[in-house]
Amino acid sequence: MTAPLNRQDRASPTRPVGSAALVAFRWLAMVLGLGVLGLMCLAWTPFALVLRGVLPRDVGSAIGRRVISYCFRFYVGVLRVACGCRIDLSELDALTRERRPLVVVANHPSLLDAVLIVSRLPNAVCIMKGAVAHNAFLGAGAQLAGYVSNVSALSVVRGALQDLKRHQSQLVIFPEGTRTGEGPIGDCGATAGVIAARAQVPVQTLVITMSERYLGKGWPLFRPPPLPLHIRVEVSARFRVVPALADEFGHDLKAWYRARLEGQPSPVLRALVPEAGGQP
């Protein structure tokens, strides 16, 4: 007669208790998160199309940016409550209260980065890829909000300068130009530095850390992350760009981010001068 399995046998490593339920929850959380974001963007599209045609440009962009920010904030709430994410964006509230134009730069580990930042910055303007303007989910809303298309470097600089002056906005740029690949940070371009120098506004750095690079470069769209997923956006150093050295901005910024993410002392920077009152 076969002896019944004891508790230790039933919890053996070959068949972990609750493993199937955990996998199912991870998939459900992923589908829920992506589904909510997609539905919100799609639902806003017809309204954005109509408003863009009837509202003055300044009024439309102000409404468009606030709606996007509030929708993204709701989405972040869904990720926290229903999807097992632990997201800390509290430091961004200090930027929300500022009434001055800024160039906001951040490292770019995930597709979620812009969503997280904009969810707390209702007057943020983003640099969007040219293809986004014709995207069924994002195009109409992005155009109503007055986001700047990166069709060319000249159009980015010109559009960003106009928006910073006209709307006192917070321009969000990922200097790597794409999601981070291998290592803590990729090569950074000089565009953000050129814009900041010409507009005579400071550069505010954000540091994004994640327990897993969910939706990072090479991460399949329908691969769920390990849960809980921990994400933090930290408001870090603020710099002034030396106008004569703006072309060196990318080199200095990459060196600063590498040191910051690896826990090393800040390197010597030529193009960036720390602003009084900023974080180290």
- What is the distance between the alpha carbons of residues 254 and 229, in angstroms, rounded to a whole number? 26
**Element holding 10 (H helix, E strand):** helix 7-10
Beta-carbon count within 10 A of 218 CB: 8
pLDDT at 230 over 50: yes
What pLDDT does 153 receive?
Answer: 87
What pLDDT does 6 receive?
Answer: 45
What pLDDT does 26 receive?
Answer: 86
Task: Decide which of 131 and 251 is more confident.
Answer: 251
Q: Which residues contact residue 24 at a Cβ distance below 8 angstroms, ignoring those fewer than 6 apart?
A: none
| Mean pLDDT score, 76-93 | 94
Backbone angles phi, psi at 80, to 5 degrees: -70, -45
pLDDT at 129 over 90: no
Instruction: Indicate the burial class of 274 (C-beta count within 10 angstroms; 0-12, 13-18, 19 or more).
Output: middle
Tell which residue, 112, 86, 80, has the closest CA to residue 229.
Answer: 86
pTM to 2 decimals?
0.89
Q: Percent of the chain, pLDDT > 90?
A: 76
Question: Which two three-digit tokens encode residue 278?
Answer: 């900023």
pLDDT at 8 over 70: no
* Tens-digit pLDDT profile for residues 27-56: 998 899 899 999 999 999 999 999 999 999
Average pLDDT, the chain: 91
What pLDDT does 278 receive?
Answer: 55
What pLDDT does 16 receive?
Answer: 54
